[in-house]
Chains A and B, each alone.
Chain A
Amino acid sequence: EADIYQTPRYLVIGTGKKITLECSQTMGHDKMYWYQQDPGMELHLIHYSYGVNSTEKGDLSSESTVSRIRTEHFPLTLESARPSHTSQYLCASSGDRGYNSPLHFGNGTRLTVT
């Protein structure tokens, strides 16, 4: 069973709406990540955090923002959704053993922007 939870699982919204994808973990992990995954494509890192009040952009140009006010919570916000944002968004966390620590993933939010 996953100890990292994402809500909602599915979301269909219209262009221009503001949305927040929720991610919470119960493992006490300091590192958290947001990935974007399209069918048949590799996962792309869009944001990451090394701990409370730490946020960094990943390698995929993104119009989203993140915050890390509590260790367990790492929400991702799109201020104005566009059809190009249609994708699967995966949240992950890892322990403190450097970058060799495996990632624990949530089950994702599948976003469709019409």
Chain B
Amino acid sequence: EDQVTQSPEALRLQEGESSSLNCSYTVSGLRGLFWYRQDPGKGPEFLFTLYSAGEEKEKERLKATLTKKESFLHITAPKPEDSATYLCASPNTGFQKLVFGTGTRLLVSP
């Protein structure tokens, strides 16, 4: 069964304390791995798409990487405004829909 699993469920960091979020997937024949950011009361906002193992993409303090079985979202020197839920998703094997993980709730304290 196609699955996307994120860990940890929640992460609390001090401002400036770097860390990584994990997204593992069991979709056959990966056709892209998406990262989204969701703020409370809002819809998810697109961050990155990764297509092949070894690919990396960066945006401000965020860097997403992809291997054959998982993706990492690295957060370098986070700020309180980085606090949000981060979701990852991948198209399912039949390429009909996106399968989402349950997200990692990140809280960055000043």
Contact = CB atoms under 8 A, between A and B. Distances in A.
A binds B: yes
B25 to A, nearest CB: 13
B59 interface: no
Interface residues of B, number: 25
Interface stretch (A11-19, A39-47, A69-77): A39-47
Contact of B43 (A45, A48, A59, A107): A107
B98 A100 contact: no
A108 B97 CA distance: 19
Interface in B30-66: 31-32, 34, 41-46, 49, 51
A90 interface: yes
B7 interface: no
Interface in A16-75: 40-43, 45, 48, 58-59
Determine chain B's interface SS by DSSP, over half rule.
Answer: loop
A90 B100 CA distance: 13
Determine chain A's interface SS by DSSP, over half rule.
Answer: loop
Contacts of B34: 102-103
A58 B97 CA distance: 8
Most buried by B among A2, A40, A41, A102: A102
16 contacts: A40-B103, A48-B97, A58-B97, A59-B97, A90-B44, A99-B91, A99-B96, A100-B31, A100-B49, A100-B51, A102-B49, A103-B44, A103-B46, A105-B43, A107-B43, A108-B42
Interface of B: 4, 9, 31-32, 34, 41-46, 49, 51, 87, 89, 91, 95-103
